[in-house]
Amino acid sequence: MPYSLFKQRIIVTGLILGLLLASIEQTVVTTAMPTIVKELGGLSVYSWVFSIYMLTSTASMPLYGKLADVYGRKTMYIIGMLLFLAGSVLCGLSTGMTGLIVSRGIQGIGAGALMPIAFTIMADLFPPEQRGKFMGSFSAVFTLASLLGPTVGGILVQYTHWSSVFYLNLPIGIPALLLIAFSLKERTGSEQRHVDWFGAITFTSAIVAVLLALVLGGEPHAGAAGSGWLSAPVIGLLSAGVLLLCLFLWMETKVKEPLIPLALFRHRLIASSSITGFLISAAMFGAIAYIPLYVQGVIGVSPSAAGYTLTPLMLASAITSTLCGRLMSKLSYRSILIPSFLLMAAGFCLLSRMTIETTMTQIVITLILTGLGMGAVFPVLGTAAQSAVEWNMRGVATSMSQFCRSIGGTIGVSVLGALLAARTASGLLQGGRSIPADQVQQYANPQLLLDAGARAALPQPILESLQLVFSDALQAVFAAGAVCVVLALAASLWMGNHRLVQPSSDKKSA
């Protein structure tokens, strides 16, 4: 249904608030977690506060996409927002880590709806020639949230109770919910449609099993005998995940209306944007996450300064994510992605050559270069996936695009984290250059470099050796990230000369 300019602005405001909510949540909680653990205890399950959120949000994305196509974007968006806000309240009321982890799981189930359906509503709301501009604006919101999150979280924890980081979601989420509820009017297709619930259960179970295996395999104890990647639980979960996924793929060829129509991936844009999104997310979330670790552990900056290391990257990303909206109406997707990936590849190559002599100025310049390449990537990939399908498949296409990125980031963090641990252990076993063989185990924990007191107590030759070992290991991580970027560049070439066009059914009323 057509909207007035005023009504469009109200809906966009609601969507932006929802995106801000979903984007800022993780960074705010990360800042607050040391204080939460101090009060609630449960350090041994610290990582599960983040892992459970990732598991539930990622696994629920494809289901929300299908349900949005069947029952309407508005209905599913409101359900997702209500679950997210309910989970936020329960997190704030938690009196133990078990309750907090369960509440974060509920939060994640709701979060799985917020981004994919927001982008789908945006695609319904605006014609193709305007979508690029708004995709870029939404990406800028994500960047802004990434910058504000640590600061907001730090202020709330310092001056209020830790529960306020969860209650903060209410004054943002409730207005977003009301704006969408009262402004968005839509009607679904008149034909009767069905949801493949058995396929949904099978697919969700498969994804949860695989993600759970990745989380368990990448935990710090991974080097111990009988644990980590070769442990029975991890191998069992991976095997179960693969079997369930094979069963799901077989069932999708038999049902009348599959949860994920496999024919979608016969379309060049859908297939190439999904593969590209997976690879670039693995590079970004898997390698860039270690930059603050590098500047704190190798170069030796303070923890507070390390927390703001990524600011140049995010600001540069915001610039190109805003500009790419205008470019999409004039250039093909591939024409925008190729220079973007070349800039990112150059940035990652420079990161892989950092040493203990690298200055913060050099790192800032490298991050700006990487960010300028990064900013246009996700808006282009999201727009490409949406423009490739008709209105009644847009929810599935958008959610699958988000899902591939989420899976890519999860696998990237796990695999590159394992690479970091392996390279660090290998460097230490070789004696760490100046570390006596009988003292290797004593200094085997890189955490020594991140603790100011422990770092100051280290003998200078030992400190330099640990810095070199840690630096060499992180160089391998950034080099692996560069390989992922190059592979993403190759995948993007498959897009051909497709550009932003209007499918015939785009004129259908939303």
**Looking at per-residue confidence, does 185 or 146 come out higher?**
185
The whole-number pLDDT of residue 433 equals 53
Residue 59 or 288, more confident: 59
Q: Report the pLDDT value the prediction gives residue 132, as an integer from 0 to 100.
A: 63
What is the pTM (predicted TM-score) of this model? 0.76
Give the C-alpha separation, 506 to 206, whole Å: 33
pLDDT above 50: residue 507? no
pLDDT at 1: 54
* Region of residue 94 (phi > 0: left; psi between -120 and 50: alpha; otherwise: beta): beta
Q: Identify the residue with better confidence: 156 or 337.
A: 337
| Region of poorest pLDDT, from 85-99, 339-353, 372-386 | 372-386
- Between 270 and 217, residue with greater pLDDT: 270
pLDDT in tens, 264-288: 778 888 889 899 999 998 888 777 7
Structure tokens at 285: 């979330």
Centre a 10 Å sphere on the Cβ of residue 430 and count the other Cβ atoms it contains. 12
What residue spans of 41-126 are helical by DSSP H? 48-71, 73-93, 97-125
Q: Which among 127-131, 162-166, 192-196, 453-457 has the top mean pLDDT? A: 162-166
Res. 5: pLDDT tops 60: yes
343-359 average pLDDT score:
91
* Centroid of chain to Cα 348: 18
Task: Please give the Cα distance from 218 to 230 (Å, whole number).
Answer: 11
Choose between 386 and 57: higher pLDDT. Answer: 57
Spatial neighbors of 147 by CB under 8 A, at least 6 apart, are: 311, 314, 315
- The predicted-structure confidence for 78-108, as pLDDT tens digits, reads as follows 999 999 999 999 999 998 888 998 999 999 9
More confident residue, 207 or 429: 207
pLDDT over 70 (residue 504): no
Token pair in block for residue 213: 């295996």
Q: Is the pLDDT of residue 314 over 90?
A: no
Across residues 25-30, what is the average pLDDT? Answer: 76
Q: Which of 281, 275, 332, 285 is nearest to 310 (CA)?
A: 285
pLDDT at 343: 95
pLDDT of amino acid 450: 64
Give residue 426's pLDDT. Answer: 77
pLDDT of residue 104: 92
For the stretch 427-486, pLDDT in tens is 777 655 556 555 555 555 556 666 666 667 777 777 777 788 888 888 998 999 999 999
The dotted CATH code for 1-185 is 1.20.1250.20
End-to-end C-alpha distance for the chain, whole angstroms: 5
Percent of the chain scoring above 70 in pLDDT: 82
Q: Are 1-185 and 263-510 the same fold in CATH?
A: yes
pLDDT at 223: 44
State the pLDDT confidence band at 131, using cuts at 50, 70 and 90: low
The predicted pLDDT at position 169 comes to 92
Tell me if residue 253 falls in helix, strand or coil: coil
Q: Supply 368's token pair.
A: 């700006």
Distance CA 452, CA 108 (A): 34
Share of the chain above pLDDT 90, in %: 21
How far is it, in rounded angstroms, from Cα 327 to Cα 324? 5
Residue 503 has pLDDT above 50, yes or no: no
Count CA atoms closer than 13 A to 105's CA, side-chain side: 9
- More confident of the two residues 154 and 331: 331
Contact 248, 52 (CB under 8 A): no
C-alpha 397/C-alpha 69 separation (Å) is 10
- CATH T-level assignment (fold) for domain 263-510: Growth Hormone; Chain: A; (1.20.1250)
Mean pLDDT for 366-374 is 92
Q: Is residue 442 a contact partner of residue 475, using CB atoms and an 8 Å limit?
A: no
pLDDT in tens, 411-424: 887 788 778 877 87
pLDDT band (50, 70, 90) for residue 20: confident
Domain boundaries of the chain, sorted by first residue:
1-185, 196-258, 263-510
Question: What's the pLDDT tens digit per position in 229-266?
Answer: 778 888 999 999 999 999 988 888 888 778 777 777 78
